Structure 1
Amino acid sequence: MARTPDGPPPPPVVQRLRLRFTKRGRLRFTSHRDFQRALERAVRRAGVPVAYSAGFNPHPKISYAGAAPTGAASEAEYLEIALSTKVEPDALRAALDEALPTGLDVVEVVETAGGALADRLVASEWIVELPGVTPEEAATAVVTFLAADRVEVTRLTKNGNRTFDARGAVVRLGVVDTLPDLLVRAGAQVPPPPCAILNLVVRHTTPAVRPDDVLAALRSQALLAPPSPSRMTRLAQGPLDEADGTVADPLTADRNAAGA
């Protein structure tokens, strides 16, 4: 006979909220598991009435989507949290932001309008800084890369080396003159010249093509080899406009439903 946990079942979910948060500065080196632990501690510290799963080992009902790789900064990370008691989204944002370390900053909280958040995260826009590379060198490499139909790269995964096409996922790639205002307001500073800055839009695929995969492709296809480590920052992730290659805000539908 199957055992059942003692005691009453956990309270039902009465509200689901979606959060946008950042990974800035030194916190870009936090892994996804590091962030999960930090968030769960912050939830307890802030007294958030998070809902829990049933069973012998209950877990907080928090869903993560499209996490940036370790070492990459981001202005657009997302998660969804289920609550057993309704709260004001702005109050939860302030409480969680206060409980999290500086650099992991909760920017916005909205009540979900339904549907799967992960289904809206179709593409990402990135800024990639290349210290020691001139804009002219980067532009030449970009032209060579974009002219190719396919550029294979190999990445070490937990299941061993995996080879895949990095070119097919790239929607847009170019050299820009300065950092976007969003990053400047967040305190980002460009390294001393020479430093090329790439603007990259990449479609979310399986396996995921990351900015470092595109840099590996630029190295193999166009011999672009930066002498110093690059710095990658995600500007946005969400629905992709196929016509112009822009990435929209995935929380727009939730925001509109809340204001209806």
Structure 2
Amino acid sequence: MAREQPEQHAPPVQRLRIRYAKRGRARFTSSRDFSRAFERALRRAGVPMAYSSGFSPHPRISYANACATGAASEAEYCEIGLTEPCDPERVREALDAALPTGLDVVEVWVAPTGALADRLTGSRWSVRLPGADPSEVAGALAAFLEADAVEVQRMTKNGLRTFDARGCVVEAAATPEGFDLLLAHETPLVRPDDVLAGLVVVRPQLRLPDPPILARLAQGVLDRETGLVADPREGRAPDAVSE
């Protein structure tokens, strides 16, 4: 007997891109927790979601380069597919009202052609280190930047991985509370906590707070020569993401 074929869903008629923020205590929301909250918000807001085909249909949502649990962010992005055209601002208002406090939908726009991930090639971060000695942090940061490569380790789903944390750092500058950081998104994706691990590699005596306070300020198209991060929404000015 032939196996019953799964239902086939029509492709989306509209795709919307969404910038959202993780603020306050919501920075401790994991990517999985956010996706569950976001899908509930889509249902509550009555957004006409398109679904994938197959035996386990799921809403057409694409997440791009989500920050790690514990990090705040002003520049997280995703894309959704809809079964009918909707006004982006009305979708923004409805989703923002349906999401928990601290998970804020900042803007929504009609997606242009091309992949969202191709518009997210760099990000700017604030790293605050309460209780750390500013002079020691500045010294470690200088030593890190002077190195050609700084190997660190991180546990991944495939086991312990060793990689260079220095090559993706485009800029870094010490501040009274820690340092600011500009990262290029390459493979493997280097995160601010990898850079912190690199500081300890070059200065083993450095004492860092646990946890540090991390915040992504901007994310978009990186120009390595100028150090600017252009907003991924086409036609916007560089560093237009609010801080």
Q: Please tell me whether the aligned partners of residues 131 and 229 of structure 1 are also in contact (alpha carbons under 8 angstroms).
A: no
For 2:182, give the aligned amino acid: V
Question: Which of 220, 223, 236 is the equivalent residue of 1:238?
Answer: 220
Alignment match, 1:114: 113
Q: Which stretches in structure 2 are left out of the alignment for 5+ residues?
A: 238-243
- Rounded to whole Å, the distance in 1 between the matches of 2:59 and 2:236 is 22
Q: CA deviation at 1:56?
A: 2.2
Structure 1 pair 66/227, CA: closer, same or farther in 2 (3 Å)? closer
- Rounded to whole Å, the distance in 1 between the matches of 2:11 and 2:142 is 54
TM-score by length of 1: 0.86
- Rounded to whole Å, the distance in 2 between the matches of 1:45 and 1:240 is 36
Alignment match, 1:87: 86
Structure 1 pair 12/158, CA: closer, same or farther in 2 (3 Å)? closer
Q: Please tell me whether the aligned partners of residues 230 and 236 of structure 2 are also in contact (alpha carbons under 8 angstroms).
A: no
Q: Which stretches in structure 1 are left out of the alignment for 5+ residues?
A: 178-195, 256-260
TM-score by length of 2: 0.92
- Rounded to whole Å, the distance in 1 between the matches of 2:226 and 2:11 is 43
* Secondary structure, counterpart of 1:252 in structure 2: coil
Structure 2 matches for 1:1-260, cutoff 5 A? 1-5=2-6, 9-177=8-176, 196-223=177-204, 224-253=206-235
Which 4+ stretches in 1 moved above 4 angstroms?
Answer: none
Q: Please tell me whether the aligned partners of residues 17 and 80 of structure 1 are also in contact (alpha carbons under 8 angstroms).
A: yes
Q: CA deviation at 1:136?
A: 2.3
Structure 1 pair 154/10, CA: closer, same or farther in 2 (3 Å)? same
Alignment match, 2:240: none
Q: Please tell me whether the aligned partners of residues 112 and 254 of structure 1 are also in contact (alpha carbons under 8 angstroms).
A: no
Q: Please tell me whether the aligned partners of residues 127 and 199 of structure 1 are also in contact (alpha carbons under 8 angstroms).
A: yes
Q: Please tell me whether the aligned partners of residues 132 and 228 of structure 1 are also in contact (alpha carbons under 8 angstroms).
A: no
- Rounded to whole Å, the distance in 1 between the matches of 2:175 and 2:74 is 18
Count of residue pairs the alignment pairs up: 235
- Rounded to whole Å, the distance in 2 between the matches of 1:17 and 1:249 is 16
Query: Deviations along 1:2-24, whole A, 9 cap, x unmatched?
Result: 42136xx4344111100000111
Alignment match, 1:180: none
* Secondary structure, counterpart of 1:68 in structure 2: coil
Q: Please tell me whether the aligned partners of residues 67 and 77 of structure 1 are also in contact (alpha carbons under 8 angstroms).
A: yes
Moved more, 212-221 or 130-139: 130-139
* Secondary structure, counterpart of 1:202 in structure 2: strand
